[in-house]
Amino acid sequence: MTSGQLRPSVDRDVLMVGTQTNLLAYDVEENADMFYKEVPDGVSALVFGHVMGVDAPLAIVGGNCSIQGFDDSGSELFWTVTGATVTALTFCDADGDGNNELLVGSDDFDIRIFQEGDVISEVTETDAVVGLTPIRLTRYGYALGNGTIGVYDNATRKWRVKSKNKVHCIQSFDLDSDGVPELISGWSNGRFEVRNDTDGELIYRQNFSSPVSAIVKVRVVLFACLLASLWGPCK
């Protein structure tokens, strides 16, 4: 399940729910289905974005050896194949050409970079890819089923660290306000980590009593300014 902008004329997100056989696009504000599609290969990963060669924003669906892209009417405008089952999807300008490529992680240990429907780069890791996130420029973070996290710059690995625990989620965010996003990870043992994207140096760690299941970025600055406006100017 994920959310994102799918209808160009409406400035709000829609909710996408994928199952082993179907895909539902739901407009929460209108309390109405946008479309409901059969997806024979199943839905194991979801992301919103633009694919080169297609003008409309798409809901990109990864399943068993296939990747499909649907517009706001449910029409399939993009389709390609990939090895094994897709386990992670994200967009990143991995080759530095000014256009975002589609990054695909799968349970055959590979991270593939797609430009339109073609694979332009491929790296093989040591376990199934369970998470991908863009960081900055051509860099992106990855997470594996064996407890490894790290950063690639295009097809070159910059660093990686391994834990005996399982990583549940990764995200990028400029937590220390230095203008550069860090790689943030949440773990099965309740650990929350922030690492430098260049060398993997640990910047911050917090331990919670329960596993970290998800990390979500919100516009906290805007929220803080709204609260501050009740008492004085926002600094």
Q: What is the pLDDT of residues 178-215, one digit of tens each?
A: 999 999 999 999 999 999 999 999 999 999 999 999 99
Would you identify the CATH topology of the domain 125-235?
A: Methylamine Dehydrogenase; Chain H (2.130.10)
Instruction: Give whole-number Cα distances, 176 to 95, 184, 219, in Å.
Output: 27, 12, 15
What pLDDT is attached to residue 235?
A: 41
The pLDDT of residue 168 is 96
pLDDT of 219 reads: 57
- Asked if 82 and 44 touch (Cβ cutoff 8 Å), the reply is no
The DSSP letter of residue 166 is P
Rounded Cα distance between 3 and 36, Å, is 15
Low-confidence ranges of the chain (pLDDT < 50): 220-235
Distance from the Cα of residue 88 to its chain's centroid: 7
Tokens read off for 188: 């099965």
| Residue 186 C-beta-side C-alpha neighbours within 13 Å | 14
**Can you give the pLDDT at residue 9?**
87
The closest alpha carbon to 147, from 123, 124, 135, 131, belongs to: 131
pLDDT, position 231: 44
What does the alpha-carbon distance between residue 61 and residue 212 come to, in Å, rounded to a whole number?
25
pLDDT at residue 216, as a whole number: 87
pLDDT at 82: 94
